[in-house]
Amino acid sequence: MTSYCKISLKPLTAREAKAGYKAAALRNLFGSNRVSPNLPFSRSEFFQSSRQYSQGMSISGVQQKLSLKVNEQRQLVPTSSGGEYILKPSPEAYPNAAENEHAAMRISELVGIETAKCGLVDFADGELAYITRRFDRLSRGEKIHQEDLLQCFNMPSEGKYSKTYEEAGKLIQQVAGGKQAVVLDFVRRVIFAYLIGNDDLHLKNFSVQRLPENTGRDYDRLTPNYDCLFCDAFNDGSTEQGLGQLALGLLLDPKDDDEQFSDAHRHYGYYTGIDFIELGCRLGIPEKPIQKFIDQLHHKQGDMIELIQHSFMPEAMKERASALLENRLRALGIIALKS
C-alpha cells in the first residue's frame, strides 16, 4: 500500500515511509530535513501545559493555535516570542480539521495560488496536527507589514461578514494602488473558495502586505493564501450537499448596500461562472483571465481529486470533498445564461 508525504502528499519510497516525509518537503517547510516533525508533547499537553503560550491565539473561540520555534535539538517547541510556525490541532467539534485544511491548502498551491507553506506533524500521542510557516517574517526575523481587510476597513471583529466580495475587492484595489494583478489574485481566491466549499472566507482571511523596500503607502500584494478548508466536507451526510453559499455576498446592490444576485443566480439558484466573471468586471478585470483560471481548474480536476485521495482525511470526508469539487466545477463551467 502506497504511503504519502505528510507535507507534499507525494508518494513515499519504502525507506521514506518509515519517517512519513520526503526530505525535500521537510527542507521546503522547515529549511532543513534534520528538523524533527514529531512533536515532543501530546494533544492533551498542548491544551493543559501550553496555555501560557497560546493565550490570545484563539480562532473565533473555536480553534486554538500555538506558536512554535525550532530549538537547538532541532525540535519544534512552543514559544511566546520569535515563533516561526503556527500549530493548529483539530478542534473537538471538527475532527480531522487539520487533515482537511492541509488537503485544501495543497490544492490551492496546485491551481497556482500563492499559498502558505504547511504540513502535518504528529503529536506525541500520534494524532496529526496542522502546521504552517509564518509569512510575516523575513529570514533574518524582520517583520513584514501586513493588515487583514477587517483592519483596512477599520471595522471591529464582529464585522468580518458585513461586506460583499465586491466591496472587499474595491478596497484591495484602493490600498494596492490599483494593481490589477493583485485584484485578479483576489478574484481567483474567491473562486477557489467556492470550488472547495470554503464558506468561511471572511474579511480576516484576506491580508495585504507591504514589502520592506516599499517606502510608499500602497500595499504590494496579498499574503499567501491561508485558512482554506473544505467546510462542506464536515457534513456527516445527513443533509444534502447543495451548490452552496459563500461567507460574504458576492455582488453589491448599490441601492440598499445588500447582496445583489445576478440574472444567472436567479435562474439557476446558485453561483456559476457567470457570477465570478461579473465580479471581475465590476473590479475592472477582463473576462479572459477569469475564464482562463476557470478553464485551468477544469483541466486540473483529475490532479485535484488525486490529491484529495492521497490526503490524510478519512475516507468519508474524501468522498464528500471530491463530490463537492466536481459539483462546483460543473457550476463554474456555466459561463452563459441559457434561455
Of 229, 255, 225, give the one whose Cα is nearest residue 100. 229
- Are residue 40 and residue 175 in the same domain, yes or no? no
- Are residue 126 and residue 25 in the same domain, yes or no? yes
**Computed from CA positions of residues 7, 139, 135, 66, in that sequence, does the dihedral angle turn out positive or negative?**
positive
pLDDT tens across 45-104, in order?
A: 888 655 665 554 433 345 688 889 999 999 999 988 888 999 999 998 899 999 999 999
Cα separation, 244 vs 324, whole angstroms: 9
Which residues are catalytic, by number? Answer: 200
Q: Is residue 171 part of a domain?
A: yes
Boundaries of domain holding 22: 14-133
DSSP string, 212-242: TT--SSS--EEPPB-----GGGG--SSS---
- Are residue 182 and residue 320 in the same domain, yes or no? yes
Cα separation, 3 vs 12, whole angstroms: 6
- The angle formed by the CA atoms of residues 223, 227 and 230, to the nearest 5 degrees, is 135
CATH of the domain at 276: 1.10.1070.20
How many domains would you assign to the chain? 2
pLDDT value at position 61? Answer: 40
pLDDT value at position 56? Answer: 46
Q: Is residue 31 part of a domain?
A: yes
Of 23, 43, 34, give the one whose Cα is nearest residue 70. 34
pLDDT tens across 44-59, in order?
A: 888 865 566 555 443 3
- Cell numbers that stand for 204 in this block: 480576516
Q: How far is CA 107 from the centre of its chain?
A: 9
pLDDT value at position 38? Answer: 95
Q: Is residue 8 part of a domain?
A: no
- Are residue 127 and residue 239 in the same domain, yes or no? no
